[in-house]
Structure 1
Amino acid sequence: MEPTIGEHLARIRRQSTLTQEQLAEAAGVDVGVIRKLEQGTRQSARIPTLRKLAHALGVPTTALMGDASRAAARGEPDSRPLSLAEIRRAVAPVRGLAGAELVKPMVAEPPTLDALESRLRVCDRVYHANDFASALAMLPSLLLDARLAAAAADGVTRTSLYRLLARVQHLTGNLLIQLRAGDLAQTALAGALDAAHKAGDQVVGATVIQGMCWLLLRQGRLAEAAELTVSTADAIEPKFSRATPGELAAWGWLLMGAAAAYARDNQPDLASDLTEAAAAAAVRIGERNPEPGHLMMVKGFDPGRVQMQRVEAAAVAGNPGRVLELSALVPPGPMVVASSWQRHRLDVAWAYAEMRQYGQATDVLLDLRKNAPAWLRQQRYARDIVRSIAEQRRRAMSQELADLASLVGV
């Protein structure tokens, strides 16, 4: 992994023979900032601060710009310009007048399909384990290598590599949505759709559309999210008698995306109808032997996930009692798609808080903090719930609740 800003700073400072105090005085920067960077308790700093430090050390500012992916995962306020720099170069490369990319690939020979598949499985695993820092560090090189390999291939291998590139871009887009880098996520997902089209794979393309729907929901573009998912679902609607699990899952995910959009757009009947259609697809998948194929999200679509959609609709409708009633029917988690389970648990925490059962709400949030702190830190929904609990409870805030408030930025 690329050294962090603090590691670069410590190495260059020691080479200069300056102490932390001397560097702080020369740069006009608080010595506490330098200590936190070098100790790793702070992962990033504002560019003007880095420029001052670099000037005092007699090096270019870029010499200090190491890996800030952990800062992004921790939601540090100064992290964004630096932590997303590498993935931005991979997602939206700079091109010259003739259209050629400014930065050339580091490898002479494109990696093999098997090697790229192996790296993608690792990235997918760490992403679903909520290790966003590791995923953010791994994905830029994987994306660049996959793009290089696809462009250089031909025949059947070319199709397979473009399918893989679509999946890498999709995973990149999902990660960027989690980190609330919406515009960059949209670029990544557009690239994923383009790669899926070149591969001629509607199933992979449909799962990318579901990622687009998620992004549109985050942006409040409810009508567009509903139209996109419904029209795509209509275009790929499978025949249940011979559809593969991948085809059924892709269709089901689209229906649930549309249901989420309609629920938020105050059209609960449409949302309910689409959720029940998705449930039928989930049941049908359960009757089939799962295929070992290429679709990573097949295992994440099942009746339990559909039940979570029903819970979410009840939360959107502002019915906490119904949320708790329906959540009792959700199988115990966590599930394959960890973020879905975690989002469901926030609905449960919200319901407890609305019913003034603050202890139960806090317990749910503490469990999320224990198992998925990087994910929880990025959730505005969690911030709203914690703020609600803190403002409404009559007793003084407990240390655990205070720690939660600090984590989510209340």
Structure 2
Amino acid sequence: MPTIGENLARIRRALPLTQEQLAENAGISVETIRKLERNERTSARMETLHRIARALHVPTTALIGDASSAAARAEPTQRPLALLELRRVLMPARGLAGHRPAGPQPDQPPTLDAVRAELRRVDQTYHRNDYAATITALPGLLTAARTAAGEADDTHREQAYALVARAHHLTGNLLIQLRAGDLAYAALTAALDAAERSGDQVISATVLQGMTWLLLRQGRLREAEDVAVSAADAIEPRFSRARPDDLAAWGWLLMSAAAAAARDNRPDDASTMIDSAAAAAVRIGERHPDGAHLMMVSGFDRQRVEMQRVETAAVAGEPGRVLELAGDVRGGTAVTSSWHRHLLDVAWAHAEMGQHADATEVLSGIKRSAPAWLRQQRYARDIVETIARPRRRAMSTELTELASLVGAEA
């Protein structure tokens, strides 16, 4: 799908108009036109697009294109266009008597194997922190999964709805990262509905873990804890015969509840929940979840539990304790985003103790491996501002680049 800038350049050249002429006719700066056409910006305010469209004598919708990179780069003008296609799928327009505008329909229903393969591909793209590509791929994945579920026979219906749930859960996780909270709630609600239709307890529990993450982001601490604890109580496994899948799903819920309790200034309750999660991780040992659940509950192990202890110490404002605990944590088996989140706690602790060079080094390491992920983290912005605030000399190039990436005031 072409970007806004590509659509703009094609229409402008066909008239023909120079960039300067178009800028003058639209009443906007020529620099805006240039940045759009060079894809330095892949979104713009609707008012700006409307002015350009008037000057080009075309409908505004003729300019709208792929703005996924705008969301991935957290451009200030990226909403609402950056997530337009996802909004169409998750929140379709409705009219009288349930009327919905017709959308593109596949020539034939996708097979469950095809949906499963595409889900695996998009999940890998997400975990590589390629948010722009993930945003672009998700609308098609969601549509395919829903279509396959609608066409599935009785034998395969539960499998189909499990795929619908997993696709919507992945979508919700991405939207939380992008801080599109209301849209994430729509995705996770749809995921939970589909999970219940699948009859798969592990998938339902994992979707609820995503919901608690969203509630935490919204400051709804008690609700987040209640959702996680209630679900954990409902699925609590018998350790003597529990599968790794069940233990991991239960452990993730307990760690979500612990994160909420820590932020509610109840570190002792958080510690108790983490201890229980640690027991589940020990019981899993070297075993792995089965293939059907691997994407949903992967990454839960003893190292991940210890990262949660580090996070709890950071939330409690104990930088020395953070560095003490972090010394025993290794990231070899951790999901990449979890490891990077742990490193932010380490960077915070260094910054709080005045070890600014160490904090900058940790942040720069994250920047090198996951710049798209780091750009979305307000926590990183706060740490950079803490480092930069007391400086009396000009910032280093390294720190300046970090401040620019995360939008810090320095």
| TM-score, length of structure 2 as denominator length | 0.97
The alignment status of 1:371 with 2:369, answered yes or no, reads yes
- Greater shift, 210-219 or 238-247, is seen at 238-247
Say which is worse superposed, 358-367 or 400-409, in terms of deviation.
400-409
Tell me, yes or no, if structure 1 residue 303 matches structure 2 residue 274. no
Kept in 2, the 8 Å contact 1:94–1:103? The answer is no
Match of 1:30 in 2: 29
User: C-alpha deviations, 1:279-326, integer Å up to 9, x for none?
Assistant: 111122224354222341332111111010000000001000110011
Task: Specify the code of the residue in structure 1 equivalent to 2:34.
Answer: R
Q: How far apart in 2 are the matches of 1:341 and 1:222?
A: 23
C-alpha separation between the residues in 2 aligned to 1:30 and 1:294? Answer: 51
- Taking the TM superposition and a 5 Å limit, the aligned residue runs for 1:91-110 are 91-110=90-109
> 1:337, CA displacement in angstroms?
2.2
Which residue identity does 2:157 align to in structure 1? Answer: R
Would the aligned equivalents of 1:170 and 1:208 in 2 still touch at CA under 8 Å?
yes
On the 8 A contact 2:36/2:42 being kept in 1, the answer is: yes
Q: Output the CA distance in 2 between the equivalents of 1:164 and 1:290.
A: 17
Secondary structure of 1:296's counterpart equals: helix
Contact 1:162 1:198 in 2 (8 A): yes
Secondary structure, counterpart of 2:77 in structure 1: coil
Q: Deviations over 1:250-300 (max 9, x none)?
A: 100000000101111111111111101111111222243542223413321
Q: For the residues of structure 2 that align with 1:356 and 1:36, how far apart are their CA atoms?
A: 39
Cα distance in 2 between the residues matched to 1:205 and 1:105: 30
**Structure 2 residue aligned with 1:346:** 344
| Residues 94 and 101, structure 1, Cα contact 8 Å, conserved in 2 | yes
Give the structure 1 partner of residue 146 of structure 2.
147
Q: Paired residue for 1:51?
A: 50
Are the equivalent residues in 1 in contact too, given 2:203–2:296 (CA < 8 A)? no
Deviation at 1:100, TM superposition (A): 4.8
The C-alpha deviation readout for 1:33-61, integer Å capped at 9, x for no partner, is 11111111111111111111111111111
CA contact (8 A) 1:37 1:43 kept: yes
Q: What do the CA deviations read for 1:179-221 (whole angstroms, capped 9, x no partner)?
A: 0000110111000000001111111010000000000111111
CA contact (8 A) 1:90 1:140 kept: yes
The match for 2:311 is 312
Distance 1:139 1:149 in 2: 15
Q: Is the 8 A contact 2:165 2:190 kept in 1?
A: yes
Residue 385 (structure 1) aligned to one of 383, 386, 391: 383
Deviation larger for 9-18 or 82-91: 9-18
Structure-1 separation of matches of 2:192 and 2:100? 20
User: What is the CA deviation profile of residues 101-151 of structure 1, one whole-angstrom value per residue up to 9, with x for unaligned ones?
Assistant: 333342132211011111111110011111111111100111112112212
Q: 1:225-262, CA deviations, whole angstroms, 9 ceiling, x for partnerless residues?
A: 11110010000011122222111111000000001011
Report how far residue 355 of structure 1 moved: 0.6
2:113 maps to which residue?
Answer: 114
Which ranges of 4 or more aligned residues in structure 1 deviate by more than 6 Å?
none
Asked if the contact 1:105/1:145 (under 8 Å) is kept, the reply is no
Give the direction of change, closer, same or farther, for the CA distance of 1:210–1:290 in structure 2 (3 Å limit): closer
Q: Is the 8 A contact 1:159 1:200 kept in 2?
A: yes
The alignment partner of 1:392 has SS state of: coil
Distance (whole Å) between structure 2 residues aligned to residue 128 and residue 10 of structure 1: 33
1:156 paired residue number = 155
TM-score w.r.t. the length of structure 1 is: 0.97
Measure the CA separation in 2 of the matches of 1:207 and 1:290.
13
Q: Deviations over 1:372-392 (max 9, x none)?
A: 111111111111111111102
Secondary structure, counterpart of 1:80 in structure 2: coil
The corresponding residue for 2:276 is 277
- What residue number does 2:19 align with? 20
C-alpha distance after superposition, 1:357-383 (max 9, x if no partner): 000000111111111111111111111
SS class of match (1:155): coil
Alignment of 1:153-232 (within 5 A): 153-232=152-231
The change in CA–CA distance for 1:130 and 1:93 in structure 2 (over 3 A counts) is: same
Q: One-letter code of the match for 2:285? A: G
The answer to whether the 8 A contact 1:297-1:337 is kept is: no
Q: Does the aligned pair in 1 maintain the 2:158–2:199 contact within 8 Å?
A: yes
C-alpha contact 1:245 1:298 (8 A) present in aligned 2: no
Contact in 2 for aligned 1:110/1:149 (Cα 8 Å): yes
Describe the SS at the equivalent of 2:295: coil
Amino acid at match of 2:342: H
Q: Which letter does structure 1 place at the counterpart of 2:11?
A: I
Corresponding residue for residue 264 of structure 2: 265
Structure 1, unpaired ranges of 5+: none
Q: Distance in 2 between matches of 1:196 and 1:377?
A: 32
Q: Which runs of 5+ in 2 are unaligned?
A: none
For 1:165 and 1:266, the matched residues in 2 are separated by 37
- SS across alignment from 1:65: coil
Q: Where does residue 249 of structure 1 map in the other structure?
A: 248
Q: What does residue 86 of structure 2 align with?
A: 87
CA distance 1:101–1:150, shift in 2 (3 Å): farther
